[in-house]
Amino acid sequence: MSQSKRLHFKDIDSLRFFALIPVFLFCVFFLTQTESEGFHYELATLMRYIKQNSIDFFFFISAFLLTSHGLREYKYTNSFSLRDFYVRRVFRLVPLLLVGILFAFVVHPWIMNTLKLHPLESPSFYGYLMLVPNYFSTARPEQYIYLAIIWTVFMFLQFYVVWGIVLKYGKTQLDKIAIVCIAVGVLSRMIRVLMDIPFEFDTLSYGVPIGMGGILAKMVRNDSPYLEKIKLIPKKLFLPIYLIGLFLVLVGYVVSGNFIYVSLVPLLTCTFYAFVIIDQTFGKNSIVKFRNNKVFSHLGKISFGILVYQSIIGVMIVIGIESLDFEISSPAVKIAVAFVGFAISWIVADLSYNFLEKPLLRLRREFKRA
């Protein structure tokens, strides 16, 4: 493998697209929810559970890619630059994070005050600095959506800070550290569920996908013999495996009333994610290669932008509906919000990627040593 060859991006991009869909649909259903019961309410609740798997998957992918590149840097340079690692992460996350923060704390309150709509009470930024979200019980639905996205980005920043240190100083103990992460993730979710506190915004609760993503990256880098067996799985077994995995993703958290079971769900789903990544990247008998779909790959590539911008655009659409006195409870209006919101988010994310993020990605390569 040449030193300049990039790792797995084509395959991972198409998979990111599938993780994007539940998060987007949850945001739309939550924003347009006007009742506390009925079909729409049940659908929003269902998507809340399913999108939890998407967040697990994003953490799994991040851990897998970061660990893969970190181990590759060691292979070709016999070292790992923590400074360059952090700079690359800042270039990737911070620009869109600043866009979200500007909208949350400046633009949205100004619009609401100008149009004399519902008064907003912006949450204290002190909570963000202390890494404790402080808006769950007071935020209006439209605020909750973009604040939740912002906080999710903050969780990834926390993960990057810690994982950079792990790659720098814990390379030889990576397996043990990953196992500790998995144990912490399981325990954290157990405690949260027992205390009846949501775990979706607790970074420690994502220890399972982080640990399992790191383990998979090391197995790939070391050419584990187990990977060779998965690569050669007969084609007739793929459909049952994918159906079982999809079932776990769709209903895993839905039927997870028991606190032990809730904590073990990511162990099952992340095992499926690992299989999918191996199959899509290295599989010899795959029934389908998602990377061959250029639309999926492109949407996956700009998925971070879509997630951030759709939370802003969705709110703007709802404001427009309210200011024009349209009835948001109408099914036709809700469907229009979904399609228009996705289309505009796609366009804006494309523009952002080409004119903001891509130039920064080129600059980021100056800090890429492997």
pLDDT at 181 over 70: yes
pLDDT at 82 over 80: yes
**CA distances (Å), origin 202, targets 45, 51, 232, 291, 307:** 20, 15, 38, 32, 19
What does the pLDDT look like over 195-208, one tens digit per residue?
888 888 899 999 99
Rounded Cα distance between 79 and 306, Å, is 35
What does the pLDDT look like over 252-277, one tens digit per residue?
888 766 677 888 899 999 999 999 99
Radius of gyration of the chain (CA): 21
In order, the DSSP letters of 275-325 are HHHHHHHH-SS-S--GGG-HHHHHHHHTHHHHHHHHHHHHHHHHHHHHHTT
Domain annotation covers residue 248: yes
Domain annotation covers residue 1: no
The helix, strand and coil proportions of the chain, stated in percent and rounded to the nearest 5, come to 80, 0, 20
Confidence of residue 2 (pLDDT cuts 50, 70, 90): very low
- Asked whether 1 and 75 are in contact (CB, 8 A), the reply is no
What are the two backbone dihedrals, phi and then psi, of residue 173, each rounded to the nearest 5 degrees?
-115, 25
Rounded Cα distance between 289 and 292, Å, is 6
Per-residue confidence (pLDDT) for residue 8, from 0 to 100: 45
**CA distances (Å), origin 45, targets 16, 31, 214, 281:** 22, 12, 31, 33
**Nearest residue to 54 via CA among 269, 302, 245, 296:** 269
Per-residue confidence (pLDDT) for residue 136, from 0 to 100: 58
What average pLDDT score do residues 167-193 get?
Answer: 95
Q: Note the pTM of the prediction, 2 decimals.
A: 0.91
Domain annotation covers residue 130: yes
Per-residue confidence (pLDDT) for residue 298, from 0 to 100: 93
Residue type, position 146, single letter: Y
pLDDT at 241 over 50: yes
Rounded Cα distance between 117 and 319, Å, is 8
Residue type, position 329, single letter: S
Rounded Cα distance between 42 and 56, Å, is 22
pLDDT at 68 over 90: yes
Long-range contacts of 187-191 (CB under 8 A, 24+ apart): 187/263, 189/259, 189/262, 189/263, 190/259, 190/260, 190/262, 190/263
Per-residue confidence (pLDDT) for residue 1, from 0 to 100: 37
Per-residue confidence (pLDDT) for residue 161, from 0 to 100: 96
Angle at alpha carbon of residue 27, lines to 26 and 28, rounded to 5°: 90
pLDDT at 16 over 60: yes
In order, the DSSP letters of 189-228 are HHHHHHTT---TT-GGGGHHHHHHHHHHHHHHHTT-HHHH
- Neighbouring residues of 313: CB distance < 8 A, sequence distance ≥ 6: 341, 344, 345, 348
Rounded Cα distance between 222 and 292, Å, is 27
- Asked whether 40 and 33 are in contact (CB, 8 A), the reply is yes
Q: Count of domains in the chain?
A: 1
Domain annotation covers residue 3: no
What are the E-state strand segments in the chain? none
Domain annotation covers residue 114: yes
Angle at alpha carbon of residue 176, lines to 170 and 182, rounded to 5°: 110
- Asked whether 309 and 345 are in contact (CB, 8 A), the reply is yes
What average pLDDT score do residues 4-16 get?
Answer: 69
Rounded Cα distance between 370 and 365, Å, is 10
Q: What is the dihedral of CA 336, 51, 19, 218, to 10 degrees?
A: 170
DSSP label at residue 105: I
Domain annotation covers residue 214: yes
Domain annotation covers residue 352: yes
Output the six-digit token pair for 211. Answer: 């640990």
Domain that holds residue 269: 9-367
Per-residue confidence (pLDDT) for residue 6, from 0 to 100: 47
**CA distances (Å), origin 282, targets 8, 22, 235, 244, 275:** 10, 26, 14, 21, 10
CA count, 13 A, side-chain hemisphere, 116: 0
Domain annotation covers residue 4: no
